[in-house]
């Protein structure tokens, strides 16, 4: 592609309402433009990247035996009524009426449609297993779309659906997709992790998320440093401490703690460490009363775990301050388990403390050297906290490290949920009616593009992995329009690259070099060649990789070999 024939739409200034780097850089590079909240056009540059992602996905899905099809984004309400999701789905489902006042929606996902296709097309177990997939636009009416294409309302997703006659078959289809996803993410050239998204993790995993690692990721993921355990932090069990609780060493005393209402206040004011104190949270009970959740001061409540406790309202609701004052007699900020007469759940780590600091259940007072069993009831401890870096891995092997990730893929087993509710049946070996077992496999195609940028950028712009780059190689001739020598060298190199199938970009704009360089860096082209009068006179060209500190001069007569080596071509 020649710059003079392309729509290069780079922006010097950063649009003000783009919060995260990937959004800023995609706008500045001229990849996308916004039309409404969470709705974007993909300009030619952005589309080139999108297509690279799609192509890798398509090739690996095909290689795994999945069959591509294309389903509508407009979906009649009847199918959703059948599955029961017309009523279950919240306002995230964009509902509309057509001119005949018939209800419909814009598909946020396609289980209903694929199941409808399946039940009309497939009648026998002998046609199984089957795996259909599509790469298609979805719409989810997010309450608050943000971060550009990372959390948009309209987005492109690869979704695949497998059908098997029995659970074993479903597991096999799932395993094949698991491997296909590994192949896909390997080819993206991104640093990623496959992560268990299943809470119990009993037996084989039935749900995995694929996360691109990035500091800005919305999800925290926990990894074992000595085994391949990896899971979304929400689901990771915090093991009870192995050590015995130490015996009390000092009598309990009450101290005045004016103005100290948080763990940080206490740590500063009393000179105790957060991990020697207790944090007492009050949540709504399922009977309308209150329950206490007690954690070590430096730990964080895990909402999913708390919701599963007997007696705690689900979804979890933290109690209103007014209600706490009314029922417990004192304000938040000086609560503690000693003398607290509501049901109390104590985290394992909190229950292991002795001589701890906690609220005295009197305003502006705390207790020092409080002890379980002696000063209050011996607790039966539960797991209600998020794991932290350094905790033991739940599988007993190694310690946990915590990284942040962006969820870009999810595979899971649906079982018979849709085949049953929508009466999608086949005849089995005995000639009896059977409900197939389904699996469902998604990749957020547009999100992959943003995640790749979140993970790979610097002050100058995007740094694409070779496999996703809109162009693999940029040729920057200096004085292309003035120097016959430069023009010939650049054109010749350009034509050669094209003939070899390299995605090459020739910057033939009559611009100063600095402008060309910064544009090419902004849009993230991985490799750059420069031809100049000066260099050519010395029989040299210049090469710089996008991540290289500086450029290097290369002998002109070896340009061909250089390119062959760079792009690993025969």
Partner RNA sequence: CGGGGUGUAGCGCAGCCUGGUAGCGCAACUGCUUUGGGAGCAGUGGGUCGGGAGUUCGAAUCUCUCCACCCCGACCA
Nearest-angstrom CA–CA distance, 506 and 493: 9
Does 551 help bind RNA (rule: CB under 7 A)? yes
Residues between 116 and 155 that touch RNA (CB under 7 A): 143-146
Residues 477-536 that bind RNA (CB under 7 A): 478-479, 482, 510-515, 517-519, 521-522, 530-532, 534-535
Smaller CB distance to RNA: residue 116 or 141? 141
Q: Site mask, RNA, residues 427-466, x = CB under 7 A?
A: ---------------------------------x------
Pattern 210-249, binding to RNA, x per CB under 7 A?
----------------------------------------
Q: State the binding string over 290-329 for RNA (x if CB under 7 A, else -).
A: -------------------------x-x------------
Q: Which is nearer to RNA, 149 or 165 (CB)?
A: 149
Query: Residue 526: is it exposed, middle or buried by C-beta count within 10 angstroms (0-12/13-18/19+)?
Result: buried
Dihedral angle, C-alpha 319, 325, 330, 333, nearest 10 °:
40
Looking at beta carbons only, is 224 or 532 nearer to RNA? 532
Closest-CA residue to 451 (of 38, 82, 49): 49
- Asked if 17 interacts with RNA (CB under 7 A), we say yes
Stretch that binds RNA, among 7-15, 100-108, 186-194, 441-449 (CB under 7 A): 7-15
The residues, ordered by sequence, that sit 6+ positions from 285 with a Cβ below 8 Å of its Cβ are 291, 311, 312, 313, 342, 343
Using the rule CB under 7 A, give the single segment among 8-16, 129-137, 319-327, 442-450 that binds RNA.
8-16
**Candidate ranges 220-228, 321-329, 411-419, 475-483; the one touching RNA (CB under 7 A):** 475-483
d(CA 144, CA 450): 18
| Cβ-based nearer residue to RNA, 72 or 545 | 545
Task: Collect all residues with Cβ–Cβ distance below 8 Å to 567 and sequence separation of at least 6.
Answer: 472, 473, 500, 502
Per the CB < 8 A criterion, the answer to whether 385 and 300 are in contact is yes
Q: Residue 46 or residue 129: which is nearer to RNA going by CB?
A: 46
Q: 169 or 535: whose CB is closer to RNA?
A: 535
Q: Nearest 5°: phi and psi at 204?
A: -70, 150
The residue count for binding RNA (CB under 7 A) is 42
Which helix (H) or strand (E) segment holds residue 255: the answer is strand 253-256
| Binding of RNA by 70 (CB under 7 A) | no
90 scored as a contact of RNA (CB under 7 A): yes
Q: Which is nearer to RNA, 42 or 517 (CB)?
A: 517
Among 259, 263, 291, CA closest to 278: 263
Long-range contacts of 173-177 (CB under 8 A, 24+ apart): 173/129, 173/131, 173/439, 174/206, 174/411, 174/412, 174/413, 174/439, 176/64, 176/65, 176/131, 177/64, 177/66, 177/131, 177/411, 177/439, 177/441
Taking the C-alpha atoms of residue 440 and residue 174, their distance in angstroms, rounded to an integer, is 8
Asked whether 402 and 220 are in contact (CB, 8 A), the reply is yes
State which of residues 2, 6, 10, 270 lies at the interface with RNA (CB under 7 A): 10
Which residues here bind RNA, judged by CB under 7 A? 10-13, 15-17, 19, 36-38, 90, 92, 143-146, 315, 317, 460, 478-479, 482, 510-515, 517-519, 521-522, 530-532, 534-535, 542, 544, 551
């Amino acid at each position: 592609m020649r710059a003079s024939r392309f729509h290069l739409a780079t922006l010097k200034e950063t649009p003000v309402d783009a919060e995260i780097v990937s959004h800023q850089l995609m706008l500045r590079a001229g990849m996308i433009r916004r039309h409404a909240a969470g709705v974007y056009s993909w300009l030619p540059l952005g589309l080139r990247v999108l297509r690279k992602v799609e192509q890798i996905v398509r090739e690996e899905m095909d290689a795994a035996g999945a069959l591509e099809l294309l389903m509508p984004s407009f979906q009649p309400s009847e199918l959703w009524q059948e599955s029961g999701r017309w009523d279950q789905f919240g306002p995230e489902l964009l509902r509309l009426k057509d001119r005949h006042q018939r209800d419909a929606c814009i598909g946020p996902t396609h289980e209903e449609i694929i199941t409808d296709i399946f039940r009309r097309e497939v009648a026998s177990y002998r046609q199984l297993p089957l795996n259909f997939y599509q790469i298609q636009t979805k719409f989810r009416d997010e309450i608050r779309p943000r971060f550009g294409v990372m959390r948009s309302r309209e987005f492109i997703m690869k979704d695949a659906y497998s059908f098997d006659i029995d659970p074993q078959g479903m597991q096999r289809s799932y395993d094949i997709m698991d491997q296909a996803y590994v192949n896909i993410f390997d080819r993206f050239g991104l640093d990623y992790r496959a992560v268990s998204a299943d809470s119990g993790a009993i037996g084989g995993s039935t749900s995995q998320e694929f996360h691109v690692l990035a500091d800005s990721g919305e999800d925290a993921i926990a990894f074992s440093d000595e085994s391949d355990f990896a899971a979304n932090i929400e689901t990771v069990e915090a093991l009870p401490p192995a050590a015995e609780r130490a015996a009390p060493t000092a009598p309990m005393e009450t101290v005045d703690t004016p103005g100290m209402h948080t763990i940080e206040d206490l740590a500063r004011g009393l000179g105790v460490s957060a991990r020697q104190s207790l944090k007492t949270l009050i949540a709504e009970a399922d009977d309308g009363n209150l329950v206490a959740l007690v954690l070590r001061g430096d730990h964080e409540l895990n909402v999913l775990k708390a919701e599963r406790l007997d007696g705690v309202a689900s979804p979890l609701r933290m109690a209103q301050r007014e209600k706490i004052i009314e029922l417990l007699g004192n304000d938040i900020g000086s609560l503690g388990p000693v003398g607290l007469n509501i049901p109390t759940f104590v985290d394992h780590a909190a229950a292991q403390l002795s001589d701890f600091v906690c609220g005295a259940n009197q305003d502006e007072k705390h207790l020092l050297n409080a002890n379980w069993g002696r000063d209050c009831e011996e607790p039966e401890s539960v797991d209600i906290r998020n794991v932290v870096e350094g905790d033991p891995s739940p599988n007993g092997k190694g310690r946990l490290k915590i990284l942040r990730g962006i969820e870009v893929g999810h595979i899971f087993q649906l079982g018979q949920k849709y085949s049953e509710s929508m009466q999608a049946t086949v005849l089995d070996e005995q000639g009896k009616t059977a409900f197939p077992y389904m699996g469902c496999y998604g990749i957020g195609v547009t999100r992959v593009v943003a995640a790749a940028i979140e993970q790979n950028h610097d002050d100058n712009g995007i740094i694409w992995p070779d496999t996703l780059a809109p162009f693999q190689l940029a040729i920057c001739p200096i004085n292309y329009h003035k120097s016959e020598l430069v023009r010939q060298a650049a054109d010749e190199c350009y034509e050669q690259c094209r003939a070899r199938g390299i995605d090459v970009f020739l910057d033939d704009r009559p611009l100063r070099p600095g402008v060309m360089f910064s544009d090419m860096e902004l849009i993230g082209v991985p490799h750059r060649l420069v031809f100049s009068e000066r260099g050519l006179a010395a029989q040299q060209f210049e090469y710089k990789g996008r991540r290289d500190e500086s450029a290097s001069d290369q002998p002109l007569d070896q340009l061909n070999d250089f390119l062959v080596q760079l792009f690993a071509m025969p």
